[in-house]
Structure 1
Amino acid sequence: MHDFISPMELFGMTTLLHIDASARPGSSDTTAYGSHTRRLTARFVRQWVATQPGAKVIYRDVGMEPPPPVSGRWIHAAFTLEAAREAWMKEVLRVSDMLVDELLQADLIVAGVPMYNFGPPAQFKAYIDNIVRVGRTFGFDRSRAGDPYWPLLADAGKRLVILSSRGDHGYAEGQRLSDRNHVEASVRTAFAYIGVTDTHSLAVEYDEFGDRRLADSISQAEAAVDELVAALVRP
């Protein structure tokens, strides 16, 4: 049995959506106090483009330019049928529509999502709230038998890579702090809700220690990024 490779992947024409959510500017390999997740996402994208020369990359930095949070007006507009939306509603949804359009174009989403107080940054949560859109990424029909909600991207073949970082260590499944890790689980849940269920993740740990353990964790994460790229492009 062979993994399915789409025609776009076969000819190196995939579209990669690169998202950074860290509040830290710069990458930790080039900037003092720079971001580890920016370092990992940049490495992933470099490796991907090197193996897929025709790939298109869409970049979205929600860490530096966070989307507006959902408001009452946003909810009113999103749950109004498109044909009935007034001008103000279209303006309220303008950023959300742009983010959804980017997501719809992507075959692969690579998201740098550091752990802030056990969960994703608020900037990334705002991104999630803007792309989980009724009528665009999930369907809703209160008269539908069984579950009135369903994912609209389930057959799109999209894949998600979550690259994270943590101040402490032991957050992986089965480790001492796994019950406090609400980063990967929450991101996977939101994307699965809209139909993106093929997910991969890895993380840098020991950031707050800043010693050899951090350096080793970064080296291990970078090696894992290289291995993941190779696995995802393998025919």
Structure 2
Amino acid sequence: MTTLLRIDASARGVNTQDSSRGSVSRQLATAFEQRWKMKYSQDEWIRRDLGAQPPEFISEDWIAACFTPTEQRTEAQRQILALSDTLIEEVARADIILLSTPMYNYGMPAALKAWFDQVIRINKTFSFDLTRGDFPLAPIMSGKSMVVLSSTGEFGFEAGGIRQQMNHLVPHIRTVSHYLGVEHLFDLQVQYQEFKDQRHQDSKSTALEGIGPLMDKLGPLHK
């Protein structure tokens, strides 16, 4: 049985009355989930809605608690790390992380960045060893896949596109997800959202059509 962790980062919900006002990335993730369930009905799903319940930002006290040996932590420090512990446990259980997110200001929503800051944690998801030379960080977990389903107001963020250098969303996610044990990352993106024209509809159709082939790639990795 495969375990999937679905994370939704959009501040928008799903608008059942007018889909144009709802979250496109959530729509894409729901389409993926529905198709996955039809094919693999026995699999387990974990859900985390960052848009509805944003994680707290890390603080000086949070950092101090992380670097305090477990057996020496105070009750207050254990409470500070409680959410981080829960979020990391969800990641640890997951074989596949299904991440739906919009692009805000050419990068991650603040809630998603806060989530990464909570889960990428020394001695929990990565180790630090100076004997490794100039690359002392190494992931503790391994063998995971991540699917990034995103939406953008503009267009041309793909490799070779006119806004490739402005895409700080997927490249950032690709870099930091390595420290969560992600070894395979796939992404589908809906563009032209602010233009609300045929190009946007075509982009959405292309992304939806891409779910099937993407599942064909994922299946052999985790079945």
Smaller-chain TM-score bracket: over 0.9
Size of the aligned set, in residue pairs, is 220
Q: TM-score, normalized by length of structure 1?
A: 0.89
Does structure 2 conserve the Cα–Cα contact (< 8 Å) formed by 1:153 and 1:195? yes
Query: Which amino acid in the other structure matches residue 208 of structure 1?
Result: E
Equivalent residue number for residue 210 of structure 2: 224
Distance 1:28-1:120 versus aligned 2 partners, 3 A rule:
farther
Alignment RMSD (CA, Å): 1.6
Distance 1:127-1:223 versus aligned 2 partners, 3 A rule:
same
Distance (Å, rounded) in 1 between the aligned partners of 2:27 and 2:194: 17
Distance (Å, rounded) in 1 between the aligned partners of 2:157 and 2:180: 26
Query: Which amino acid in the other structure matches residue 90 of structure 1?
Result: R
Distance (Å, rounded) in 2 between the aligned partners of 1:32 and 1:86: 49
After TM superposition, give the deviation of residue 32 of structure 1 in Å. 4.8
Match of 1:63 among 47, 51, 59: 51
After TM superposition, give the deviation of residue 231 of structure 1 in Å. 2.6
Q: TM-score, normalized by length of structure 2?
A: 0.94
Query: Which amino acid in the other structure matches residue 160 of structure 1?
Result: M
Per-residue CA distance 1:106-142 (angstroms, 9 max, x = gap): 0000000210000010010000001101111001234
Equivalent residue number for residue 64 of structure 2: 76
1:46 aligns with 2:34: yes
Does structure 2 conserve the Cα–Cα contact (< 8 Å) formed by 1:151 and 1:194? yes
Runs of 4 or more consecutive aligned structure 1 residues displaced over 3 Å after TM superposition: 27-32
Equivalent residue number for residue 25 of structure 1: 13
Does structure 2 conserve the Cα–Cα contact (< 8 Å) formed by 1:27 and 1:39? no
Distance 1:133-1:59 versus aligned 2 partners, 3 A rule:
same
Equivalent residue number for residue 103 of structure 2: 115
Distance 1:47-1:57 versus aligned 2 partners, 3 A rule:
same
1:176 aligns with 2:162: yes
Distance (Å, rounded) in 1 between the aligned partners of 2:17 and 2:170: 24
1:193 aligns with 2:179: yes
Does structure 2 conserve the Cα–Cα contact (< 8 Å) formed by 1:27 and 1:38? no
Distance (Å, rounded) in 2 between the aligned partners of 1:119 and 1:24: 16
Listed as ranges, the gaps of 5+ residues in structure 2 are none
Identical amino acids, percent of aligned pairs: 39
After TM superposition, give the deviation of residue 226 of structure 1 in Å. 2.4
1:206 aligns with 2:189: no
Query: Which amino acid in the other structure matches residue 165 of structure 1?
Result: S
Per the alignment, in what secondary structure is the counterpart of residue 158 of structure 2? coil
Listed as ranges, the gaps of 5+ residues in structure 1 are 1-12
Does structure 2 conserve the Cα–Cα contact (< 8 Å) formed by 1:29 and 1:39? no
1:233 aligns with 2:184: no
After TM superposition, give the deviation of residue 29 of structure 1 in Å. 8.7
Distance (Å, rounded) in 1 between the aligned partners of 2:158 and 2:17: 24
Equivalent residue number for residue 148 of structure 1: 136
